[in-house]
Structure 1
Amino acid sequence: MKKISIVVPCFNEEENVVPMANAIREIFKNNLSSYKYEIIFIDNDSKDRTRELIRELCRNDKDIKGIFNAKNFGQFNSPYYGMLQSTGDATILMAADFQDPVEMIPKYVKAWEEGYKIAIGIKKTSQENKIMYHLRSLYYRIIKKLSEVEQIEHFTGFGLYDKAFINVMRELDDPVPFLRGIVAELGFRRKEIPYDQPQRRAGKTSNNLYKLYDAAMLSFTAYTKVGLRLATFAGIILSGLSMIIAVIYLIMKLLYWDRFPAGMAPILIGMLFLGSIQIFFIGLVGEYIMTINQRVMKRPLVVEEERINFEE
């Protein structure tokens, strides 16, 4: 009998973990009775009762497993690490807040049985904040145009991944993995299944502007060269313009020595403009260097504090 692993990352999801476990088990009972399952809750250092509830679920069902991180290792590392711990013939990654509908699980499994190594969900609509949804759409369009690697619009990582692709993920040994980019760049033949994203069932999202910026910059620095190229071209163009303006200014002063005031305004404007451009591109180059530094340091994806129901 084939086994499907369900990986559910958690952070302060005390209101959702038990209903999520029950919903997944109900799906397997009613729609996927010919499959075995394992549910892996990986908790990213929750501060509420999430861990207590996961322990209780694990006590009552040996097919439910728990991994407790020693601290919060971020929104990318924890889900990725959880997928690497799965033992199923296929692994499904989904959020604990019910924004990834459990009803999609049978659709993913059907696509997998049809021969697709990867089946992913694509948000066609969302009940999240309209401004955030449109900002995401704009980001996807921009990164798709700038990236040399194919980018998948409105894909959050929610989907099914065959064991063969999980093995590819294991071999990458990437300390700062960006699953969405990895699927687009290295993934097998995939099926994209549209779905409507509902609101969170309960609780408060941990996503904020900083985390969205972090995701955007990781994608930008990992899969585009445009930032560094833009810095180079801007430097060449602006230095050329500065030289031209300087020569024109010198000629005007020599021709109209008494009538053309030197003044400080052009110098100050030029210095402030060029200074701001330099600061911007130093920050941009810093983002690339920070990504390189994280990869070179080779730190572990997460450090476990405890795991439950895993065989030795």
Structure 2
Amino acid sequence: MSNTCISIVVPLYRCDKAVEELTDRISTTLGALKLSFEIIYVNDASPSADWEAVTQIAQENTRVKGLNLSRNFGQHYAITAGLNYASGDWVVVMDGDLQDQPEDIPLLYNKAQEGFDIVLARRVERQHSFLKRTGSKWFYKTLAYLTDTEQNAEIANFGIYRKNVIAAILSMKDKTRYFPTMVRWVGFKRTEIGVNHAARKEGKSSYNLKALLNLALNTILSFSDKPLRLTVKAGIFISFAAFIFAAVTFIRALTGHIVVSGYSSMIISIWLLSGVIITLIGMLGLYIGKIFDQVKDRPTYLVAEKINFE
């Protein structure tokens, strides 16, 4: 049975300059609480010296543990790897760029002691550009609508989770991993508290518009069949509209209002229906592709190296 109270899981990508400061701040903060803890850094095959920074610190501090993934799998797969190795009764997930502040962990932990299984950190003033905030806002709105789940642009991965919540998330066999949506899907008693959001220590986020769109598409296809249901509704609507148009055309022909038959409406109808059919086939193809990925049953991540794990 574990005697670790809190496991801190931190995915890393281009965060080598922040690792030492983050470790010191976590250690100082949790040391003041007099709680046992471990810090699990997961290097997602970062091109910078993230793994070297982790190994150097881990050699001097056995509370610091590291996982080095064999290639870049993505942030949420790195989080999954860290969760699988976490041994604490509580697990904190946070980013490694110092925008999530370790000094807020006691707030999350103390709130959790009021009987909550999940306490999420709500970023009061996000330190992102206007374009990033706007993109995130519409990303989460679209995600919420198409997955029928609650989404909030002010809430990301940062939070504290009871170990039974983590066990429930790890029991999900989805090959597409998106941590915030998985947290909302499993349920449990959840609340949120406001926290400050710091500026990124260096560099910029790897989530550009293309990455956000890909993430949204993969998450929607994995968590919901709503796009298919919307397509069916659109097909019914188009069929109904076509029936009305045909009836009106037939009546006009009988009453002599159509003297010369034209081809414009026919061509438009053909193009419209062709577009709908191609879209539907493409959507079905995407879902079949997801099923193909699922049945291959490949591991969601591979660990090349680890340090300070027994």
Query: Under a length normalisation based on structure 1, what TM-score does the superposition of the two structures give?
Result: 0.89
* Residue 101 (structure 1) shift: 1.5
Residue of structure 1 in register with 2:20 after alignment: 18
Residue of structure 2 in register with 1:280 after alignment: 279
* Residue 68 (structure 1) shift: 0.7
Structure 2 unaligned residues grouped into runs of 5+: none
Q: 2: distance between equivalents of 1:269 and 1:54?
A: 61
Q: Does the C-alpha gap of structure 1 residues 175 and 219 become closer, same or farther in structure 2, counting only changes over 3 Å?
A: closer
The CA deviation string for residues 133-180 of structure 1, in whole angstroms up to 9 with x for no partner, is: 233334434544554444455321211111222222233333223221
Residue of structure 2 in register with 1:298 after alignment: 297
2:261 match: secondary structure: coil
Write out aligned runs for 1:1-312 (5 A). 2-29=4-31, 31-32=32-33, 34-145=34-145, 147-152=147-152, 154-253=154-253, 255-256=255-256, 260-311=259-310
1:38 match: secondary structure: strand
Of residues 235-244 and 54-63 in structure 1, the stretch that sits farther from structure 2 once superposed is 235-244
Q: Which amino acid aligns with 1:163?
A: K
Check whether the contact 2:67–2:305 (CA below 8 A) recurs between aligned residues.
yes
Q: Which amino acid aligns with 1:6?
A: I
1:39 match: secondary structure: strand
1:140 match: secondary structure: helix
Q: Which amino acid aligns with 2:94?
A: M
Of residues 152-161 and 43-52 in structure 1, the stretch that sits farther from structure 2 once superposed is 152-161
Identity %: 28
2:176 match: secondary structure: coil
Q: Does the C-alpha gap of structure 1 residues 131 and 47 become closer, same or farther in structure 2, counting only changes over 3 Å?
A: closer
Check whether the contact 1:9–1:79 (CA below 8 A) recurs between aligned residues.
yes
2:277 match: secondary structure: helix
Q: 2: distance between equivalents of 1:135 and 1:125?
A: 16
Q: 1: distance between equivalents of 2:215 and 2:195?
A: 22
1:292 match: secondary structure: helix
2:54 match: secondary structure: helix
The CA deviation string for residues 215-260 of structure 1, in whole angstroms up to 9 with x for no partner, is: 3224433444431111111112212322332343345445549x63
Of residues 276-285 and 80-89 in structure 1, the stretch that sits farther from structure 2 once superposed is 276-285
Q: Which amino acid aligns with 1:59?
A: Q
* Residue 285 (structure 1) shift: 3.5
Q: Which amino acid aligns with 2:287?
A: Y
Check whether the contact 2:95–2:157 (CA below 8 A) recurs between aligned residues.
no
Check whether the contact 1:121–1:193 (CA below 8 A) recurs between aligned residues.
yes
User: How many residues are matched?
Assistant: 308
Q: 2: distance between equivalents of 1:310 and 1:90?
A: 18
Q: 2: distance between equivalents of 1:174 and 1:222?
A: 7
Q: Does the C-alpha gap of structure 1 residues 183 and 45 become closer, same or farther in structure 2, counting only changes over 3 Å?
A: same
1:125 match: secondary structure: coil
Q: 2: distance between equivalents of 1:246 and 1:120?
A: 55
* Residue 70 (structure 1) shift: 0.7
Q: Which amino acid aligns with 1:208?
A: N
* Residue 87 (structure 1) shift: 1.0
Q: 2: distance between equivalents of 1:5 and 1:84?
A: 11
* Residue 42 (structure 1) shift: 0.5
Q: 2: distance between equivalents of 1:233 and 1:262?
A: 31
